[in-house]
Structure 1
Amino acid sequence: MTVTTETTAVVRRYIEIWNERDAARRAAAMEAALTGDSVYSDPDYEGLQGHAALSEAIDRAQERFGDLRFELGEVLGAHHGHVLFTWRLGAPGAEPAATGYDAAEIAADGRLRRVVGFF
């Protein structure tokens, strides 16, 4: 699988979930970007399952990071139902406060099933 506009679009939708502060809009965005049985892991969280658990983690991140926003960096590659991409966290136009890589599994329906973050 090469990087397609559909792959980039779902990754972009996923990144925007981290910026959405309205719970109802975030829930709708999660439905569009993540399977219902999705799993999220990063150095702080091991195996958050489902939308509710990830949404709670995002709430905590937003409290911690204030007005900083996540941006998609680059979709580095995609193959066999997986995608690797970079992201930045920071104020618009400023040097990023943090950067990272995520590897994600893409389900047959085009949504993300598993995301593993590195920062």
Structure 2
Amino acid sequence: MSDVNRLITQYLGIWNERDEARRNAIIKEVLTEDSVYSDPDYAGIEGHAALSAAIGTAHEKFGDLVFGLGEIIGAHHDTALFTWRLGPAGTDEAVGTGYDVIEFAGGRIRRVVGFF
């Protein structure tokens, strides 16, 4: 598995991790300390703690639904574009889909811009 695939898979795992302590440990491993996340609902979440809190809120909203990787559309230099789906665990069924653009720095994710 390439580094890009590994990081994207780990990143989606952050969104699926319900245990806050485990989620925080993965965030520290995968994202830079100065990481920024934005999507249509969030203008710019800065740092590990803020992202973890937002994900905890999302779990309340999404219930048992999980994120899965759709397709890595492309990657070049320090940027990648991929699709994801949100749906019941163990299925390819999707109740939501989207695209994320991620930027890398030092072997970790520095910025995520999500579209859904």
| Equivalence for 2:2 | 5
Rounded Cα–Cα distance in structure 1 between residues aligned with 2:10 and 2:30? 6
2:56 to 56, 59, 82: 59
Q: Superposed, which structure 2 residues align to 1:1-119 within 5 Å?
A: 5-91=2-88, 92-93=90-91, 95-107=93-105, 109-119=106-116
Instruction: Give the 3-state SS of the residue equivalent to 2:68 in structure 1.
Output: strand
Instruction: Give the 3-state SS of the residue equivalent to 1:26 in structure 2.
Output: helix
Q: TM-score, structure 2 length as denominator?
A: 0.95
Identity across aligned pairs (percent)?
A: 59
Question: Structure 1 residue runs of 4+, over 2 Å off?
Answer: none
Deviations for 1:2-60, whole angstroms, at most 9, x for unmatched residues?
A: xx711100010000000001111001100111001100000000110001111111011
State the one-letter code of the partner of 2:103. Answer: E
Which ranges in structure 1 are unaligned for 5 or more consecutive residues? Answer: none
Which ranges in structure 2 are unaligned for 5 or more consecutive residues? Answer: none
Cα RMSD (Å) of the superposition?
Answer: 1.0
Q: How many residues are treated as equivalent by the alignment?
A: 115
Q: TM-score, structure 1 length as denominator?
A: 0.93
